[in-house]
Amino acid sequence: MTRDSSSAQVRAPSRLSFHARAVRGAGLALSLLLACAAVPSGALAAAPVQAPVVTGLPDFSDLIDKVGPAVVNIRTTERVTRGQGVPGEEEMQEFLRRFFGGQIPRGGRGGRPGGQGGGVEEQVTRGVGSGFIISADGFVLTNAHVVEGADEVTVTLTDRREFKAKVLGADRRSDVALLKLSAGNLPYLRTGDSSKIRVGEWVVAIGSPFNLDNTVTAGIISAKSRDTGEYLPLIQSDVAVNPGNSGGPLINMRGEVIGINSQIATLSGAYNGISFAVPIDEVMRVADQLKTTGKVTRGRLGVQISEVTRDVAESLGLGKARGAEVAMVEAGGPAEKAGIKVGDIILKFNNQAIDTTRDLPRLVGATKVGSRATVTVWRRGSQLELPVTIVELQEEKSPTARPAPKKPAPGVAPNALGLVVSDITPAQRGELGVESGVLVENVQGSAATAGIQPGDVISQVGNTPVGNAAQFGALVAKLDPKKPVALLVRREGVSQYVVVKPRQ
């Protein structure tokens, strides 16, 4: 799936640097529509919705007095080798760091290995973030990107006490890190239940934007379950969050932490009215694993998936668009062993519905490694339930390269879809990793418009598998020219349904 890269970027408000981690996301442009309608004379008007009357804004002062001491400033440093450089270079670097933030690249004479004058290793400030204490014995939560690459982490409390923190572990997928201070009897925050949050409720953020310690901002929860992360839905709020707020708590009116402020949607690098927090329920699951093992283990099914469009759903008899389309099955992986095939639509995982493709990796990732699960798939017009044993998530393998197509024989005309195909040889089956299908030799018309290319392999027409070119031609000849058809197309090891409309 591709998303509009020209839209607002989602940035991590981590340090003084305006080069915070960007996350690709859907466009975040908003529009406001106002409309009026007159009620015809004599018509019965609907009763207005009864809503509580807002009598005033809340006072956060008592809440901040209570929770503020448990919020900390986090400063990270790294060891760098500085050369002798030129007169005034260090003063200029310090000026840039103080007013523009973050680490400034150090080129020039003596600043690189082999430069003139050698160099001296020393500690320099790398960035500033926020965090909060979750236990009296010194466990601290923050974002993984706040401490990533740091050689030393310093935690400062509101009473100005400073501690060198040990990073027990960091998980980049959830952007959560767990630190430990060698101290006791510390103030700490209670965690709430992020599954019970409500859109519109008041929340408060405390952190160190632009290194301004214990800055308090307030707002409301704007939305729940925003899909800006692969393994977790984020909390959206309109609380002002800026570079340096990363890792700080998002707190409800009961003084409970419901999330860690992690990202902002911005066009400028600073707050633009939309910020995101990692739900505390997910944070604590990650923190428990980091505390025990120093890393996070997630379940893996061994498939690549893609979105099920409305046209594909209708063509396959699914009705509405739902589920996750299996685009690739890892050889020897748990999905292959369970009998899951390319082109299957995964509808449920352990009886939990898969409404969008984003639901599946979250459910599988949260499943204990080694446990058995049931996957419900849609295959060729019917549902199947397949048992699968979940294994540990690993790095994805590179896709298989596709062979160059042969030149079509002279005089071969494209079929009603605009395709010229040929049989796949036994050698090509092994090279492509397919059992059957036809190889696309030439593309025109509707198929070309749909994005099919020479070298693609077509293994299914609608719900019918394709064995050879003759069968493919017979299936296409029977298609209704008024209805689009979904072809299961494989390219570079990944399969996807492509909807093509036959010409009349």
Domains 190-293 and 299-392 share a fold: no
Residue 24 CA to residue 108 CA, distance in Å, equals 34
- Give 262-284 as a DSSP string: EEEEESSSS--SEEEEEEHHHHH
Instruction: Give the mean model confidence (pLDDT) for residues 352-378.
Output: 90
67/257 Cα distance (integer angstroms)? 10
Q: What pLDDT, in 10s, does the model give residues 265-321?
A: 777 666 778 899 999 999 999 999 999 999 888 998 999 888 898 989 988 988 889
pLDDT band at 376 (very low <50, low <70, confident <90, very high): very high
CATH topology of domain 419-500: Pdz3 Domain (2.30.42)
Is 80 exceeded by the pLDDT of residue 451? yes
Is the sign of the CA dihedral 248, 251, 257, 258 positive or negative?
negative
Domain ranges of the chain: 68-180, 190-293, 299-392, 419-500
Task: Identify which has the larger pLDDT, 37 or 274.
Answer: 274
Q: Which residue has the tokens 């010409």?
A: 503
Report the distance separating Cα 76 and Cα 148, nearest Å: 9
What pLDDT is stored for residue 281 in this prediction? 92
In the chain, what percentage of residues exceed pLDDT 70? 75
Query: What superfamily would CATH give domain 68-180?
Result: Trypsin-like serine proteases (2.40.10.10)
Smallest Cα–Cα separation from 126: which of 157, 155, 95, 148? 148
Give the pLDDT confidence score for residue 301 in this predicted structure. Answer: 92
How would residue 482 be classed by pLDDT, with cut points 50, 70 and 90?
confident
CA distances from 141 to 171, 256, 282, 378, 469 (A): 12, 14, 12, 42, 59
Report CA torsion sign: 8, 9, 14, 16.
Answer: negative
Question: How far apart are alpha carbons 362 and 370 in whole angstroms?
Answer: 17
For range 393-404, the mean pLDDT: 52
Ranked by mean pLDDT, which of 101-105, 177-181, 211-215 comes out on top?
Answer: 177-181
Mean pLDDT (whole number) for 21-45:
38
pLDDT band at 116 (very low <50, low <70, confident <90, very high): very low
Single out the residue of 469, 470, 408 nearest to residue 444, CA to CA.
408
The arithmetic mean of pLDDT across residues 168-190, rounded, is 93
Q: Which of 94-103, 126-135, 137-146, 485-494 has the lowest mean pLDDT?
A: 94-103
Statement: 299-392 belongs to CATH 3.40.640.10: no
Residue with tokens 């991590």: 12
CATH number for the domain running over 190-293: 2.40.10.10
More reliable by pLDDT, 79 or 446: 446
| Rounded distance between C-alpha atoms, residue 339 and residue 324, angstroms | 16
- Residue 438 host element (H or E): strand 438-443
Taking the C-alpha atoms of residue 207 and residue 214, their distance in angstroms, rounded to an integer, is 5
Widest CA span in the chain: 92
Model pLDDT, residue 290: 95
- pLDDT score, position 272: 77
> Of 8-17, 74-83, 319-328, 427-436, which gets the smallest average pLDDT?
8-17
Residues identified as active-site = 145, 175, 246
Strands of 60-151 (E only): list them: 71-83, 119-133, 139-142
- Tallying the residues shown for the chain, one arrives at 504
Task: Quickly state the pLDDT bin for 127 (edges 50, 70, 90).
Answer: confident
- pLDDT tier at 494 (50, 70, 90 boundaries)? confident
For position 416, what pLDDT does the model report? 86
Check residues 62 and 398 and name the one with the higher pLDDT.
62
pLDDT at 256: 95
- 233 in the Ramachandran plot: left (φ > 0), alpha (ψ -120 to 50) or beta? beta
Higher pLDDT, 150 or 432: 150
Residue 435 structure tokens: 């059992």
Q: What is the mean pLDDT of residues 249-272?
A: 86
Residue 20 pLDDT class (50, 70, 90 cuts) = very low
> What pLDDT is recorded for position 167?
95
What's the confidence (pLDDT) of residue 248?
94
For the chain, the average pLDDT equals 79
What is the pLDDT, as a whole number, of residue 164?
A: 95
- Per-residue pLDDT at 132: 96
Contact (Cβ atoms closer than 8 angstroms) between residue 442 and residue 454:
yes
Q: What is the mean pLDDT of residues 70-94?
A: 67
pLDDT confidence of residue 491: 85
List the single range of 13-17, 119-123, 370-374 with lowest mean pLDDT: 13-17
H/E stretch holding 286 reads: helix 280-293
Q: How high is the pLDDT of residue 204?
A: 96
Q: Retrieve residue 99's tokens.
A: 């007013």
| Cβ neighbours around 201 below 10 Å, total | 13
Taking only the tens place, the pLDDT of each residue in 187-236 is 999 999 998 999 999 999 999 998 888 899 999 999 988 876 556 789 99
The confidence band for 107, taking pLDDT boundaries of 50, 70 and 90, is very low
Which position has the token pair 């002279």? 410
d(Cα 259, Cα 277) in Å, to the nearest integer? 5
* Higher per-residue pLDDT: 481 or 116: 481
Give the whole-angstrom CA distance, residue 444 versus residue 414.
7
DSSP, collapsed to helix, strand or coil, labels residue 234 as strand
Q: Which residues is 498 bridged to in the sheet? A: 487
Q: What is the mean pLDDT of residues 160-172?
A: 93
Alpha-carbon distance of 282 to 288, in angstroms, equals 10
Residue 285 sits at φ, ψ, to 5 deg, of -65, -45
Backbone angles phi, psi at 205, to 5 degrees: -115, 140
Is residue 400 scored above 80 in pLDDT? no
**Predicted local distance difference test score (pLDDT) of residue 279:** 93
